[in-house]
Amino acid sequence: MEVIYIIAGCIAFFAIKGIYDNYNNAKKLRARIIREYGSKADKTFDDGRAKSISYYCREKKRSNCPVDDITWNDLDMDSIYYLLNNCKCAIGDEYLYYLLRNPSDDLNELKERNRVIDVLAADKELRTELGFFLGSVGQIKGISVYEYICRLKNVELDSNLKHIFQAALLLAGIGLIFYNPTVGIIATVAMFFANIISYFKRKSQIECYFTIFSYILRMAGSAKKISKVVSADKNGDIAVYTERIAKAASDLAKTTRGAQVFLNPGGNGDLLQSIFDYIRMALHIDLISFNLMVKKFFDRQEEFDALYESMGFLDCMLAAASYREWTGDTCEPELHAASGKAAQKTEFTGLSHPLIPEPVVNSISTDRPVLLTGSNASGKSTFLKAVAINAILAQSIFTARAEKYSAPCFHVMSSMALQDNLALSESYYIVEIKSLKRIIDAVEEKDAVPVMCFIDEVLRGTNTVERIAASTEILKKLSAHAGMCFVATHDIELTYKLEEYYANYHFEEQVNDDEVTFDYLLHEGRTTTRNAIRLLGMLGFDKEIVDAAQKNAESMDEQPLKK
C-alpha cells in the first residue's frame, strides 16, 4: 500500500510541476512577445530550415508579378526577408517568404493587408494575444511544414497489426511474471528490447513526419486558445481570420483527437514525460497513432490549408506592424493600377535602402525612364536596389521606407549582379544577354502587369563600340514598352543618344587633394566627373601608371561626343 502512495505522490508532484512549468513558460512567452514587438528581427535558421522555407512558395499559385530568382539575388532579398521576419511561428516564416516572392497587383488585397497591419499596430492587447497564440505553435527545425504535409501521400505505412502483436507479447511477458517470475522477467526484458529496436528502426524512416505531426498537434492545440484573441479583438477587426482558424482547427481536431497523449507534441522533457516516452517506445503507441492519423489526414488537407494560410497571414501582418514600429521612417504607399503612359508616373520622397541603418535619402518624380550616371562608388547601384526593394515591399506588406511613395503596381525585374555560369560553360556576356532577354520578353507580354526594370551597366561584358550600339537599341525598346525603367551606366555616350527617351540623373563626388568623398545624393542631368583613375592612386598604384592613364583619358576626351 505504501508503494502505491509513493507512486501516486510522485505522479501528483510531477503533474503539479508540469502545470507550474506550463504557466511559467506561458508567462515568459507573453513577456517575449511584448519585448520583441518594435525590435529588430534577429531570427536565424539552420541550413536545412533556410532551404526549406521556399517550399510553400514553390507549391502555391504565383501572383501576376512574381520576383524571379535573378531579381531576388540581385536585390539580396534574403537579407530583406530576415530583416522583416519577426514572425512567431514556422508557418509565418514560410508565408512571409511567399509574400515577398509574390508582390500583388490587387489593390483591394493590398489595402486589406494594410488594414490588418494598422489594427495590430494600434491595439497592444490584440497583438500581444495574437503573438502569444502564434508563439504557442512555435518554430520547427530543419524541414518545411508544408513540404512534409504534401509528402504524406507518399509515406509507406506499415501494418498496425504488427505493432499491436509486439505490444501484446510484451504485456503477456509482464503478466507472466505473476505466474513464473524468472521466465516472465526474461520474456519481458527480451520483448522490451526487441520492441525498442524495431521502434527506432521504423521511426528513423518517418522521423520528419513525426516532427510534422507533433507540429500539427501544436497547431490544433494552440487554436483552442484563439478565444483569447477573439476576446481581445473587441471590434471584430480580424474576426474573419480568427473564425476561419477556429473552424479549421475544429475540423482538424477530428484527425488529431487523442493523439496528444501519444505523440508528445510539447516535448518538455520532464521525468514523467520521459516515463511516458519509454511506454510509447515499448508498446509502439505513437507508431500506431501515426498510422491512424495519416489515413485520416488525407481527407483533411483543405482544413489544414485554411488553418495554415490564416495563421501565416496574421503572423506576417504582425511582423509588418513590428517592422514599421522598429524603423519609424516608413510610409503607406500610394498605389494605383497602371494604364496609359501618364499613369506610369513614379514619385517618392525621402526614400532609402532598408538594409542601411543611417541612410542618405533621395527623391524623384518622373514619368519617363531614368538613365543614371556617376562615378564609381557614388551610390548608383544602391539607389537602384533601394527603389526596387521598396517597390516590392509596397506591393507585399504595403510599406515603403520613405516619406512618400507613389507608383503604379509593377512587375519588378532586374539585371544587376550577374556572374559567369561555369556549370553551363556560359561567359558573363551570355549570362547578361539572357538576363536582358527575359526582361524584353516580359515587357512584350500582352495583358501582363507593366514591368519596372532595373539594369546596372548594360552589356558590360563586351567591347565599347558594340556595347553602346546594342545598349542604345535595347534601352529604346524598354523605354517604349516597360512601365518604368531605371538604368545605371558609365557610358556617357548613352546619355546623349537616349536623351529623347530617358531622363538623365547622376550621383557625384567631391575631390579634395587626394581624398574623394560622396554625398550619395541624386542630382538631375548627366555626370560631368570621373574618379576611376584617381582611385587607382588613392589605393596605392604606382604614380607613373596613374599619370599615364590620366593623359590617355585626356587625349580621348578631346574627341567630341556624338549624339
- Which residue from 264, 234, 237 is spatially nearest to 321, judged by alpha carbons? 237
pTM for the model stands at: 0.85
Q: Of the CATH numbers 1.10.1420.10, 3.40.50.150, 3.60.10.10, 3.40.50.720, which one belongs to the domain with range 2-155+206-327?
A: 1.10.1420.10
Residue 534 burial class via C-beta count within 10 angstroms: exposed 0-12, middle 13-18, buried 19 and up: buried
Residues 331-382: tens digit of each pLDDT = 999 998 876 554 588 999 999 999 998 899 999 999 999 999 988 788 899 9
Residue 535 or 27, more confident: 27
The span from the CA of 479 to the CA of 524, in Å, is 19
| 49-63, 104-118, 199-213: least confident range | 199-213
- Report the distance separating Cα 535 and Cα 68, nearest Å: 35
- Cα–Cα distances in angstroms (integers) from residue 79 to residues 82, 169, 411, 531, in the given order: 5, 56, 20, 30
Could you give the C-alpha distances from 453 to 11, 79, 217, 472, 478, in angstroms and in order?
66, 21, 45, 16, 9
The angle subtended at Cα 124 by Cα 121 and Cα 126, nearest 5°, is: 95
Strands 370-374 and 509-512: unpaired
Pairing of strands 451-456, 411-415: parallel
Residue 252 has pLDDT above 70, yes or no: yes
CATH superfamily ID and name for 334-530: P-loop containing nucleotide triphosphate hydrolases (3.40.50.300)
Dihedral of CA atoms 523, 524, 525, 527 in degrees, nearest 10, equals 10
All three cell numbers of 265, joined, read 507534441
Nearest to residue 391, comparing CAs of 97, 119, 71, 120?
71
Residue type, 460: R
pLDDT at 1: 52
The span from the CA of 234 to the CA of 516, in Å, is 59
Q: Tell how strand 362-366 and strand 346-351 pair up.
A: antiparallel
CB atoms within 10 A of CB 392: 25
Encode pLDDT of 411-447 as tens digits.
999 998 766 454 454 677 788 889 999 999 999 998 8
Strand order of the β-sheet with 523-524 is 411-415, 451-456, 484-488, 370-374, 503-507, 523-524
Cell 547622376: give the residue.
506
* Residue pLDDT, tens place only, 172-226: 888 888 888 888 888 888 888 888 888 888 888 887 777 777 787 777 776 677 8
Q: Which of 177, 178, 179, 195 is nearest to 187 (CA)?
A: 177
pLDDT above 70 as % of the chain? 82
**Max intra-chain CA distance, the chain:** 111
pLDDT in tens, 59-103: 888 999 999 999 999 999 999 999 999 999 999 999 999 999 999
Choose among 459, 347, 456: nearest CA to 404. 347
The domain ranges of the chain are 2-155+206-327, 334-530
